[in-house]
Structure formats: structure tokens, C-alpha cells
Amino acid sequence: MSATTAAGSLLKRQLKEIQTCKDLPGISCGLVNDSNIFEWEVMLMINDDCKYYGGGNFRARMVFPPNYPHMPPSLTFQRPIPFHPNIYENGNLCISILHPPEEDEYGYEAASERWTPVQTPETILISTISLFHSPNDESPANVEAARMLREEREGKHKDFRKRCRKCVRESLGED
């Protein structure tokens, strides 16, 4: 069996598990194209108790490499892209578990924080929802969002919350 065939079989099983799991509220997954198991369409519905993004429905694409699970997938948010410290302006999510399994050349992350084959699409999506509840402004993908979040935490203004609420409204088709 080729690596691509093995990866495809694993992904079919993992997609079915997510689609049938009752313990994953707020996560919906399907294929972008029925003939390609390596590209998933994801919807993350953020529950209302989330301080900044509550009520938002954010669409993303998860693309798996042919050598999955040895290398991580990418997760890219579709328009409207959430204004978030850990999401680049092009929609790419920046989270340690999606970084390749090697030593960080800058020494910021330990190898244990990066991708390992024990991660699954489910753990990635749960971690992503967790980032909506607790944005990481320490190593931002979106520097402006991180700065605004820090300033809001310091009580300087509420601009970050306003930008997030605008993203939530856009995600619901209201803006």
C-alpha cells in the first residue's frame, strides 16, 4: 500500500469519526470535492460564551499532505477571515501543532509542541476553537490584532472587541 493510499484510508476514517461524534459541538467537516479526501471544508461554530468571537461561524479549509500523518495539514480560514492574533491576513492559521516536526530554528517552540503523528484533525480543530477562546498574543501571525488585544487587556480601549464582533457579524452574513 502506498503512503498516499494509507493516508487516504486514515483520513476517511478520521472524517467519519468527526462527522458521527456527538462530543464535538461546534465542529462540522466535509469534503470540498467528493473525489479528494485530502481537502476538507470545515465550519467552526463558536459558542456564545466566547468573549470575543461568540456566535461566529467561521469557514476554513484543511488540506492534508500526501505523507500525512507524518507531516501536518494546513488550515486556512475563508472569507470573512477572522481578525485574530493567530490568523494571518491571508487566512492561514498559525498554531504550534501545525508546524513541521523538527526543532524550531528560532528556538521559540520545543519540538514537543510541534506536529506529531498522534495529532488528528479532531485535535487540531479542538485546539483551534480553544484559540478563539484564548488568543495567543505572544507569537502573533497578525501583529495588529495582538497589539490591540494587549491594549484592551490593559484597559486602554475596546477596539479589539469591536473588530472581533464585526468579524462575527460578517461570518453570519450580517455585514
pLDDT in tens, 137-146: 988 999 999 9
In-domain check, residue 1 = no
| pLDDT band, very low/low/confident/very high, at 148 (cuts 50, 70, 90) | very high
Name the catalytic one among 21, 50, 94, 164. Answer: 94
Query: Known catalytic residue: 21?
Result: no
In a domain, 14, yes or no: yes
Report helix angle 3-20 to 121-133, nearest 10: 50
Counting the structural domains of the chain, the total is 1
**Tens digit of each residue's pLDDT (9 = 90 or more) over 120-130:** 999 999 999 99
Q: Report the CATH number at residue 140.
A: 3.10.110.10
| Structural domain range at position 19 | 6-172
Q: What is the pLDDT of residues 66-78, one digit of tens each?
A: 999 999 999 999 9
Is residue 78, in this structure, part of any structural domain at all?
A: yes
Candidates 31, 91, 95; CA nearest to 64 is 31
Those residues with Cβ within 8 angstroms of residue 103's Cβ, 6 or more apart along the chain or in another chain? 111
User: Per-residue confidence at 84, pLDDT binned at 50, 70, 90?
Assistant: very high
